[in-house]
Amino acid sequence: MRWSTAIVASVLAAFGSAEPIRRHPSSVPFPASCPGVTKQTPFNLTTAPGWKHALIATGLSRPRAVLFDKAGQLLVLEAGKGLTGHTLDPATGCIATSKTLIANPALNHGLALSPDGKTVYVSSMPTAWSYAYDASTMTLTNQTVVVRGMNPGGHPSRTLAIPPNKPNLLIVSLGSEDNIDHASINKETGRAIVKVFDLSQTPAGGWTYNTQGWYLGYGLRNEIALVFDGNNHVWGVENSGDNLERTINGQVADVHHDNPAEELNYLGDPSISNEQWYGYPTCWTVGPGGPAAFLPTDGPFTVGDQFTVTPNSTFNDASCEAQSTPPRLTIQAHSAPMDGKFDKNFKNMYVSLHGSWNRVPATGYKVVEIPFKKTVEGKGKGKGKGKGKDQEVTYEPVAAQDDPNGYRDILWTENVATCNAGICLRPCGITWHPDWSRMYVTSDGSVGELYILYKE
């Protein structure tokens, strides 16, 4: 069908975008299955109405991160193996060829590509490297240390991200040493923080993580997912604590099934230092289903409230409310968010929820969609001259901060209540195909898999 002027005009009115939205602007077919790729895992998957999925690769080594290079080829960070490159068969949409680009078993999560596609960044626990990348031959040269001296233990992921509009900035997330890392209240420990480094000034031997660069928040237990909104500002999705008990007036309540909530935090403009404290390891977030778990004498709590596990005469929940930056939205406790990506028009953020070990019944093991809205404030809102002047555009979830249902499932494991990491989907890396027709989602469970997820 050709786009008539009237349809384009109504689409523009509805979406405010310069480009018409098409249902399938796809350059490659959607395979229902791929030759030689057979499901090795017992779980069954379901998608929300309007969505479809297909398994396109199996037998990967813990695929943690995935992205497209400028030639439409997939780069996959396989933990314990290294970095692999994959071409797509234009006739089928299946994987045509695969090769190992970096053989390094220490690589375990982080993967980023410079906006011009010419530099690849990868990380182990202590180190982040850059490589010059030639997409035409899928080769990497000139390995260079860009960040060094990161905590060699603790939560292992070192998520890497480069703002699309600031190719000289490298954002590196580093989680806590353990569940409750008391020392990390001091951000100079270099843990439970997100930091930013200027790649145009990298000193010989690389930036030293703990003492150089600037902050993009601290008191962030394990901010594995870093996501850019339409302003190129950063949202972090946090893996919060396990096994929490709340002790008040000598009475102990096990609140851990639904508390603390996983957090969607606004970390802001990465070119500006953000030294806000996000609460860890002292203040936590009341989760969906959480208020009921507290003692009747406790609270009252609303979802999203900040609390401490052992209120005392000098530090209580009110102290947390006053000092801790709360999340903009909560996600079910123990879901374990791993990665996130916005769609083309920043209307939804897609987040992979790896799945729980610390909750009965189990939760997560799915991909969710968080609807976002764009707000334009200030002068120059109208048309013509002056349009856009003094305007402030912001992005935030549609749901209110205390809404426990601010997201919806789009791909999930059936019978999730009995899931465990050995048998169920373990969604991890997410990326969009460059034509925006589909997402690629890795699963790093007992068998490493790659799925496509798309709207019918």
Ligand X SMILES: *[C@@H]1O[C@H](CO)[C@@H](O)[C@H](O)[C@H]1NC(C)=O
CA distance 435 to 455: 13
CB 138 within 8 A of CB 85: yes
By beta-carbon proximity to ligand X, the closer residue of 130 and 184 is 130
Give the nearer residue to ligand X in terms of CB position, either 114 or 401.
Answer: 114
| Closest to 197 in 3D by CA, of 280, 103, 130, 243 | 130
Q: Which residue has the tokens 């002790």?
A: 247
State in angstroms the smallest separation of the CB of 313 from ligand X: 6
Contact (Cβ atoms closer than 8 angstroms) between residue 48 and residue 453: no
Which spans in 274-417 are helix H?
317-323
Nearer to ligand X among residue 301 and residue 307 (C-beta): 307
Least separation in angstroms between CB 451 and ligand X = 16
Element (DSSP H or E) covering residue 68: strand 63-68
Do residues 342 and 226 touch, judged by C-beta distance below 8 A? Answer: no
For ligand X, give the closer residue by CB, 235 or 278: 278
Residues in the chain: 456
Q: Residue 144 Cβ, how far from ligand X at the closest point, in Å?
A: 4
Minimum gap (Å) between residue 281 Cβ and ligand X: 9
- CB of 18 vs ligand X, minimal distance in Å: 35
Torsion-angle region of 142 (φ positive above 0: left; ψ -120 to 50: alpha; else: beta): left
CA distances from 257 to 46, 246, 354, 360 (A): 25, 12, 16, 7
Q: Which is nearer to ligand X, 145 or 398 (CB)?
A: 145
Instruction: Return residues touching ligand X (CB under 6 A).
Output: 42-44, 130, 132, 142, 144, 282, 308, 310, 312, 314-315, 414-415
CB crowding 407-417: b at 16 or more within 10 Å, else e: beebbbbeebe
Nearer to ligand X, 43 or 372 (CB): 43
In the complex, minimum distance from the CB of residue 367 to ligand X, in angstroms, rounded to a whole number: 18
Closest CB to ligand X among residues 102, 237:
102
Question: Residue 72 and residue 311: Cα distance in Å, rounded?
Answer: 53
Give the CA count within 13 Å in the CB-facing half-sphere of 74: 30
Which amino acid, one-letter code, is at 332?
Q
Find the shortest distance in angstroms from Cβ 219 to ligand X: 13
